[in-house]
Structure 1
Amino acid sequence: MLIVPEREIADLMTREAAFDAVERVFAAMASGNAYNFPVVREAIGHEEALYGFKGGFDQAGLTLGLKAGGYWPNNLEKRNLINHQSTVFLFDPDTGKAKAMVGGNLLTALRTAAASSVSIKHLAREDAKVIGMVGAGHQATFQLRAALEQRNFEKVIGWNYHPEMLPNIEKVANEAGLPFEAVALPDLREADVIISITSAFSPSVMADHISEGTHIACMGTDTKGKQEVEAELLVKASVFTDEIAQSVSIGEAQHAVGQGLIKGTDVAEIGAVINGTIAGRTSPDQITLFDGTGVGLQDLAVAAAVVDLAVKKGVAIEVDF
């Protein structure tokens, strides 16, 4: 079995490679060549942590495995560790033997950012100039860096539950040579693209905060009860997701579907847009929403790419197992 430690990931996986891996796996899912297993995600009753498993099988890429991990909200304050902790395990689909164990913390950040970036590529207006960020934590910086590569943005605006964290995304904007402005939630109407990346259980972004023609990527809702945007927004928007089953059960669409505002059939796979089997944006005034629930196949795709690179560079650790 091969081990690729967390410390090696930064030198192996780029944003471009993560984007390509995620875009390919979304397309494979929509084509029926890859599927995710049911998600297990539970509060463990210790340290306020959420822990779970996401897995799947990509028949096209012959990638089988799972990611184990979750969210420990006290890590940063108590231990100076990031709150999201995870490890990816890959298995040989021919034999079932353990193939690799890969540090999943940076990979999770990169693949989550890649997913919203893929949605911007395929759903946002080409003339988008202002990007809005809702959330300013560790993951938000990855989201913004990836998003800025998809359009010729001219300005970044942001809001966060804890305003003292906004310098995190202001720094990324400034590194890209763009001005940054902290705004109130109603001022998100200025944005052409919005990324919401919080761990909220009640909505902050309301339907009337979103202007016509906006693309919004909702990236924080991956558990029953979580919610970042008002359910009525999904009525106004054309809704796309990584996986429909997760979207309506643990994603942002769970609330709109649960309230009878939309049906599961109103949610489309972004992979089908990538494959060209359904339309994405069809007009400049259309509001598009991507419900990024985070599927196990994303993790497996980027982990498999990392293992190949680690072997080529001689940094993978081989152990008998």
Structure 2
Amino acid sequence: MSTLKQSDQEERSTIMIGADELADCIDMASLIDAIEEAFEAYEKGDATMPPKTYVDIKEHNGDFRAMPAAVGDSAGVKWVNVHPDNPQKFDLPTVMGVVVYSDPETAYPLAIMDGTKLTRFRTGAVAGVASRHLAPSDASSLGLLGAGQQAHTQLDAISNVIDLDRVVISDLDDDAITEFITAESHRTVDIVSGSPQDVANCDVISTTTPSREPILKREWIKDGAHINAIGADAEGKQELESDILADANVIVDDWEQCSHSGEINVPVAEGVLSEEDVHGDLSSVVTGSAPTSDDTDITVFDSTGLAIQDIATAELVYESASEQGLGTSIKLIGA
């Protein structure tokens, strides 16, 4: 990874990159590769990622989270919130984010960019990385549990690493399913509506719901299936029956985060799963140091999101915006 840096001769400035321009800076295939390289760097000790820091704002039923990292020639921090009352009270999203992307050599802030859409893209991309390494070799079907925004990036990413011929999508909201199928109608793959059991019968499955009760049952999951568990992001959330995790090779992005608020948090709290039961983390999978899985093993990737993913994505966005002349340059730092 190499960062485009402003020369000493030119006047330094910071690029402001909004959500619409950020989308124009993302190529999913390149992002999947960049995310994989970030996990490799972390495994090899070439990346720094302090623990995520939480700032509780109890009087407003919310919190802020700071996620800093340095990866290769890139450094930055994502400042993200979770305010569940926002949609009803203020007509604002529950989760919003901003990324500050800096030059590690000088510490100059090269860019400030939308972190909400960036998170959406990198979450899809990391499922692409996991699916590339963990899905059965003959995988051809994708099941999507949940028809929200993340379902689109899951499809985009996984279709970049697997030759899909069928996609099954399930959601409690029939209109959301219809909207999803319409929005993705440009793809050559066959996309159909189905039940959670239909989703569970696919070769690769991505779950993106906020459920606090298991939806997918162990008896529905076939041998060799790979599951990207994306939806659980807080204590008590769970999309997969605990027996699935007990029988699967479980891969985490980070044990501490996953055991606290990922898909495995409930089985861990119940004593069904411990750190010793985890097959490995994604860094060890992409570098080949984790035990291998064969095509009869069920695999589950528990994704809670890491700062190295954000900064690897921010690097691509910054470089693309610079090359295309996108964003608004401002003089943020005074002499």
TM-score (normalised: structure 2): 0.85
Do structure 1's residue 269 and structure 2's residue 281 form an aligned pair? yes
TM-aligned CA deviation for residue 47 of structure 1: 7.5
Write the deviation string for residues 147-202 of structure 1: whole angstroms up to 9, x where unpaired: 12221222111211323211233235532123333222233342111000122233
Identify the range of structure 1 (106-115 vs 11-20) with the bigger mean alpha-carbon deviation: 11-20
2:40 equivalent in structure 1: 27
Q: Tell me: CA distance 1:320–1:50, structure 2 relative to 1, closer, same or farther (3 Å).
A: closer
2:65 equivalent in structure 1: 52
Write the deviation string for residues 125-149 of structure 1: whole angstroms up to 9, x where unpaired: 1211221000111121111122122
Q: Structure 2 residue aligned with 1:36, among 30, 49, 62? A: 49
Task: Give 3-state SS (helix, strand or coil) of 2:66's partner.
Answer: strand
User: 2: distance between equivalents of 1:298 and 1:46?
Assistant: 31
TM-aligned CA deviation for residue 237 of structure 1: 0.5
1:11 equivalent in structure 2: 24
Q: Tell me the C-alpha RMSD between the 2 structures.
A: 2.5
1:139 equivalent in structure 2: 150
TM-aligned CA deviation for residue 265 of structure 1: 2.9
Assess if the C-alpha contact under 8 Å between 2:237 and 2:266 holds in 1: no
Do structure 1's residue 230 and structure 2's residue 230 form an aligned pair? no
Write the deviation string for residues 70-116 of structure 1: whole angstroms up to 9, x where unpaired: 34557667877655421101234345554431222221111010011
Assess if the C-alpha contact under 8 Å between 1:186 and 1:208 holds in 2: no
Assess if the C-alpha contact under 8 Å between 2:200 and 2:216 holds in 1: no
The 5 A counterparts of 1:205-244 are 205-244=216-255
Do structure 1's residue 293 and structure 2's residue 299 form an aligned pair? no
Identify the range of structure 1 (159-168 vs 92-101) with the bigger mean alpha-carbon deviation: 92-101
User: 1: distance between equivalents of 2:198 and 2:21?
Assistant: 41
Task: Give 3-state SS (helix, strand or coil) of 1:286's partner.
Answer: coil
Identity among equivalent pairs (%): 28
Consecutive unaligned residues in structure 1, runs of 5 or more: none
User: 1: distance between equivalents of 2:185 and 2:62?
Assistant: 34
2:262 equivalent in structure 1: 251
Q: Structure 1 residue aligned with 2:161, among 125, 146, 150? A: 150
User: 1: distance between equivalents of 2:163 and 2:324?
Assistant: 34
TM-aligned CA deviation for residue 45 of structure 1: 5.1
Q: Tell me: CA distance 1:20–1:186, structure 2 relative to 1, closer, same or farther (3 Å).
A: same
- Give, as a single letter, the amino acid of the residue that structure 2 aligns with 1:70: N
TM-score (normalised: structure 1): 0.89
Consecutive unaligned residues in structure 2, runs of 5 or more: 1-12
TM-aligned CA deviation for residue 255 of structure 1: 1.9
Q: Tell me: CA distance 1:189–1:219, structure 2 relative to 1, closer, same or farther (3 Å).
A: closer
TM-aligned CA deviation for residue 272 of structure 1: 1.4
1:89 equivalent in structure 2: 100
Assess if the C-alpha contact under 8 Å between 1:252 and 1:291 holds in 2: yes
User: 2: distance between equivalents of 1:164 and 1:149?
Assistant: 27
Assess if the C-alpha contact under 8 Å between 2:29 and 2:160 holds in 1: no
